[in-house]
Chain A
Amino acid sequence: MPVTQQGESKLWQRRDRKQQLLIWATQFLGVAIFVYCWQKVSENTVWMFVNDAPRQAADMAQRMLPPKWSYMEQLWQPVWDTLNIATLGTLIAIVMAFPIAFLAARNTTPSKVFARPVALFIIVSSRSINSLLWALMLVTIIGPGVFAGIIAIGLRSIGFCAKLLYEAIEEINETQVEAIRATGASGLQILTYGIVPQILPAFAGISVFRWDINIRESTVLGLVGAGGIGIQLNASINTVTWTQVTVILIVILATVVISEWVSAKVRHAII
């Protein structure tokens, strides 16, 4: 504890001088970086539009009300598509993530030199690219529609599921695996009787968690033409029918809240 003597009294400080200077230097650097970035953004901003924003917002709010509820009839199919994109995408992802996770986990990988880095690279590239970018690519390649959305969600989720799953595999109890091995089980039997039962709860939890995130993400895939309710959102905004936009936003909100509730319930039941 840095305590300095000042005449009669002792003064306690939380940090000694070196630590304090280091912290100040870091803070200074942080502020400098922030100010630099802000200037760069500010140069490219038309401040007239920004200053006008409150009036615009009021105007928009006025045009968004009241919601055009009759539009709801046309929304059931997109909502169903959105659900399908999220669910089927998650399904594809977990099927693909399962073997990749086993290749990536340190204790189950067949080869640390070759298979593990490849699996880790798949995980990283799948995770770093947003599902909207995956959708953008797939729409250019296989054409617009629900199918592109499903594949996009699937590709994006592989990395997430595989990462969480391989971490779960690395944390399993080795004694159980050892016990199965001692009975003379083959590699596949060790897998099914020793490892899989241990990770099954984690696996189910991860799938439901990802499904919940995917519902959220699949609501916007339509912005690039990959199916779901986003198509209607984009169309309504482009045709400036704000009363429809309100209905769509409410529907998205409801879908997200319900899926979050379902996912929380299921995860609670599993764990």
Chain B
Amino acid sequence: MASRTLTSRRWRRPPFISNAYLRWGLLAAAILYLALAYATTEVNWSRVADGLPRAKRFLLSFFPPDFTSRSEDILEGILESLWMTVVSTVIGILISIPIGLGAARNLAPTPIYLLCRGIVAVSRTFPEIIVALFAVKLFGFGAFAGIIALSIGTIGFYGKLLAEDIEDMDPVQAEAVKATGSSWFQWLNYAVQPQVIPRMVGLGMYRFDINFRESAVLGIVGAGGIGATLLTSFDRYEFDSAAAILLIIIAIVMAVEYSSGYIRKWVQ
């Protein structure tokens, strides 16, 4: 009896990118890029090594953080951050409502649509901190400049999402309200607004959260808030105060995040 070897077939996982040329091309490009990046990035390793004991000291200063010795500055900074957050979120959302309505394709005529989309695009382009840098030059140091920067950021964010939400709404309901002979504002109030409000409340809370986090850094360029206190404590190597501020920021962000979850459930 002649023996026959069975040709074994081995299964292999299908690759993530099915085109072989693309796959190897991307890999080669990635390796080339990494090599280039490594060659051109200057890292002062001795300075990094010097920093390690300081890193250890910084980490140790979290146990325990020093809330007391700078408590007045910290409290003032945190409160200012919170005021800025509230004011800028409210102003930003109030301005972004008409802009969002105008930027919705199914609501606005073309010239208004283009204008509002333009406003949204412009206010989204630059990071808040750069806007704040200019606001400080124009309006002077302090929370007002920060509010301007955060409001502009909010307009871009909220206007865009509001417009997209209105564009995604159910046209049947809108049609039904219109068929009753409602005026434009009634139509807006009874057909459009109930459809978008649950998501928009959630997004408003989310933006509040973002604005608070941003307000914590605006102080670096002099636009008010806790950032200035944090910058000072780092500059003076007072790591235990800095640790306290960071922990407070984390705690507030977590509190806002959890409460926004509850509010969203309550609205929906």
A→B interface (CB under 8 Å): 14, 30, 33-34, 37-38, 40-41, 44-46, 49-50, 53, 56-57, 60, 80-81, 84, 87-88, 124-125, 127-130, 132-133, 136-137, 140-143, 145-147, 150, 193, 197, 200, 204, 216-217, 219-220, 223-224, 233, 237, 249, 252-253, 256-257
Contact = CB atoms under 8 A, between A and B. Distances in A.
B51 A141 contact: yes
Nearest to B251: A128
B253 interface: yes
B40 A33 contact: no
Given A130-B217, A136-B231, A44 B143 contact: yes
Contacts of A127: 253
The 7 closest A-B pairs by CB, nearest first: A49-B140, A142-B51, A128-B253, A143-B47, A37-B83, A37-B86, A45-B144
A56 B133 CA distance: 14
A45 B221 contact: no
A44 B147 CA distance: 12
Given A34-B86, A80-B40, A140-B54, 10 more contacts: A40-B83, A46-B140, A124-B250, A128-B250, A133-B246, A137-B234, A142-B48, A223-B220, A224-B220, A233-B130
A193 to B, nearest CB: 7
A125 B250 contact: yes
Interface stretch (B67-75, B101-109, B121-129, B158-166): B121-129
Contacts of A137: 58, 234, 242
B127 to A, nearest CB: 5
Of the candidates A41, A127, A143, the one having the most CB atoms from chain B within 10 angstroms of its own CB is A41
Interface string B1-23: 00000000000010010000000
Contacts of B235: 140
